[in-house]
Amino acid sequence: MPYSPLLVKPMRDELTNLGVQELLTPEDVDGFMSDSEGTKMLVFNSVCGCAAGMARPGVRLALQNGKRPDKVVSVFAGQDVEATAKARSYFPDIPPSSPSIAFFKDGELIYFMPRHRIEGRSAEDVARDLASTFDEHCS
């Protein structure tokens, strides 16, 4: 059962305040994925404090990097269930986990940070990994 929208709103805001666009429906996801040019990052947001509490600040720090993706979007796992399932359907060989972060270049999945690469680490550690990917693939 999805969490209360009131509980989740601050967790949504933490990303949307950075300019991250939320994908709320499967159609939103398809629209995002159909544009295959450039670099894109998709954040699977999550309520879980064990890991998401570091994922969102990690994204915030990473987006302060000089190079960053052309587009950054999110789906909220456990909340926007259909949109999340649609997003995961684009890489069916990767086990579902949330929070997690996918990075695409010209439509190809280049990098995936699963939940276990977030949990127990600091926001700075998460940001460092993301920024390294940005530096390598973004212009």
Contacting residues toward other proteins, per CB under 8 A? 48-51, 53-54, 93-97, 112, 114-117, 119-122
Shortest Cβ distance from residue 3 to other proteins (Å)?
A: 16
Distance CA 87, CA 2 (A): 17
Q: Is 73 helix (H, G, I), strand (E, B) or coil?
A: strand
Residue 138 annotated in active site: no
Shortest gap between Cβ of 22 and other proteins (angstroms)?
24
Closest to other proteins by CB, 60 or 117: 117
Closer Cβ to other proteins, 17 or 122, answer by number: 122
To the nearest whole angstrom, how small is the minimum distance from the Cβ of residue 21 to other proteins?
A: 25
- Kindly name the residue from 50, 81, 120, 136 that is annotated as catalytic: 50
The token duo for 11 is 């967790």
Sheet holding 39-45, edge to edge: 21-22, 71-76, 39-45, 100-105, 108-113
Q: Is 48 a catalytic residue?
A: yes
CB-based contacts of 52, cutoff 8 Å, min separation 6: 11, 45, 46, 98, 99, 118
Nearer to other proteins, 24 or 48 (CB): 48
Sign of the alpha-carbon torsion through 121, 127, 130, 132: negative
Amino acid at position 115, single letter: R
Question: Catalytic positions, please?
Answer: 48, 50
